[in-house]
Amino acid sequence: MRLGIFGTGYVGLVTSVCFAELGHSVVAMDKDSDVVTRLSDGALTIYEPGLQELLRSNLRAERLSFTTDAGEALDSAEVVFLCVGTPSRSDGRADLSQVEQVVRGIAPLVDGYKLIVEKSTVPVNTAYCIDRAIRQLGVEAECEVASNPEFLREGSAVHDFLHPDRIVIGADSERARGLLLELYQHDFGCPILVTSVKMAELIKHTANAFLATKISFINMVADLCEKVGGDVDTIARGIGLDHRIGTHFLRAGLGFGGSCFGKDLKAFVRIADEAGVDFALLREVEKINTSRVDALLKKLDQALWVLRDKTVGVLGVAFKDNTDDIREAPSLRIIPRLLESGVTLRIYDPQAAGKLATLYPADEQLTYVESAYEASRGAHALLVLTEWEEFQSLDFACVRSLMRTPVIVDGRNLFEAGRMRKHGFEYYSLGRGDAILERATG
Ligand code: UDX
């Protein structure tokens, strides 16, 4: 099938490349000419494992192209995907101006049937608003709006797209349903849920809100563990083995960051508010998540006693592993506070340091280094902010020998406390009874 895809951010780019990989003919549009030039040359604009090879092979196979021209993306495409950003407004609602801009841009160019599909997360009833806008703009051709939400995670986006747990198709007519089912003819080996547009919109918001709730729930249990001497990892396993609960998204730590959970929670709460439903649970989820940074900084403060003039090595600044994305990353709230406290930082992230450096350029108080070992050099403490797998296999004897004082404050509960103590570290994590252990052994 011929597809036009609007927006080449994380969702748009992965969607474009993966649909091309499945044999569809894809023209992806972005208004940023630099992005279009780079992608057309086969150079990725984001770091995403596995995407580079697929981008190049599909460009070579001429199944995929990029353009700044909306008409080119629309031309002969039966299905048009909206993959532009839907960030938060200051009042928490989703800012749909980019969606509206695309709709306004394509309306004068529509000359035959088009199925316009929402892929980005949008509030319930957005499809209705898009449809109304198209009519108001004088489009007479038969156009429809459908929803086909994307559930991919950054860092494993290609895998998630090609091996989804489920595909959700929200369509209100036979024709729209038929087109989307044809698009997903490939054997994905997963259920395809066909529902109304409104349901599909709600499923996407509900999924993200529920996953965020799981994370905040386990983080509250972590707080309780700290007080009563429990171990949150053991509890997560103990409850997760119950199939009704499941083991995923029960990793306690610094909480969720990223461009989706925070904004989608806020938007979902606003949707509920406007419908007269007080979704206080989700407000609490957000509050718990925000408080993680304070909890971690308190541990660092206690471990180092006085922060001023101390050196801290920071391991990871991305909002999660396997990505260079720092949007809403806890590091963005932690780093300025440490700098204000007079701490000197030695920062290492395998992919995301460059993005942080555009916000916090290197100076005498902040150095970007090329390895976790370099981050440890001369440090009074190491602060783990991202769950990168490579941190697991560090030579801790070497790390310890490089540090001025052997303190690790682990915001992602990456390491096993006993192992760290054997290496001679004073080790703090979240909700794993460290404080109690310290008391027992100290
Ligand atoms: C999320 C959803 O998972 C995905 O379905 C949706 O399409 C987009 O939003 P993403 O934000 O890319 O994906 O990453 P995800 O793996 O969900 O992690 C989000 C955040 O939660 C990260 O900061 C991660 O570190 C944190 N997290 C995740 C935890 O703190 N604990 C966990 O158990 C899982």
**Residue 161 CB partners (closer than 8 Å, separation 6+):** 14, 15, 18, 150, 152
The number of angstroms, rounded, from the C-alpha of 291 to the middle of its chain's C-alpha atoms is 19
35-83 pLDDT, tens per residue?
A: 999 999 999 999 999 999 999 999 999 999 999 999 999 998 999 999 9
The tokens of 216 are what?
Answer: 């905040």
296-326 pLDDT, tens per residue?
A: 999 999 999 999 999 999 999 999 999 999 9
Instruction: Return the residue whose CA atom lies nearest to atom 30 of ligand 1.
Output: 255
Answer whether 260 contacts ligand 1 (Cβ < 6 A).
yes
Local confidence band at 140 (pLDDT 50, 70, 90 cut-offs): confident
Give the DSSP letter of residue 94.
Answer: B
CA atoms of 375 and 369, how far apart (whole Å): 6
**3-state class of 196 per DSSP?**
coil
Nearest atom in ligand 1 to 207's CA: 5
Residue 34 has pLDDT above 80, yes or no: yes
Q: Which of 220, 233, 237, 256 to mutate to test the pocket of ligand 1 (most atoms within 8 A of CB)?
A: 256
C-alpha 421 to ligand 1 mean position (Å): 30
Local confidence band at 434 (pLDDT 50, 70, 90 cut-offs): low
Spatial contact of 147 and 127, defined as CB atoms under 8 Å apart: yes
Answer whether 85 contacts ligand 1 (Cβ < 6 A).
no
**Residue 71 CB partners (closer than 8 Å, separation 6+):** 109
Looking at residue 438, its pLDDT comes to 46
Instruction: Return the residue whose CA atom lies nearest to atom 34 of ligand 1.
Output: 249
Report the length, in residues, of the chain.
442
Burial class (CB in 10 A: 0-12, 13-18, 19+), 151: middle
Catalytic residue among 129, 190, 260, 398: 260
Looking at residue 440, its pLDDT comes to 46
Task: List phi, psi (to 5°) of 133.
Answer: -60, -40
234-284 pLDDT, tens per residue?
A: 999 999 999 999 999 999 999 999 999 999 999 999 999 999 999 999 999
The residue among 278, 80, 258 whose CA lies nearest residue 183 is 80
Residue 10 has pLDDT above 70, yes or no: yes
Would you call 83 a catalytic residue per the annotation? no
Instruction: Return the residue whose CA atom lies nearest to atom 10 of ligand 1.
Output: 153
Spatial contact of 179 and 79, defined as CB atoms under 8 Å apart: yes
CA atoms of 376 and 312, how far apart (whole Å): 8
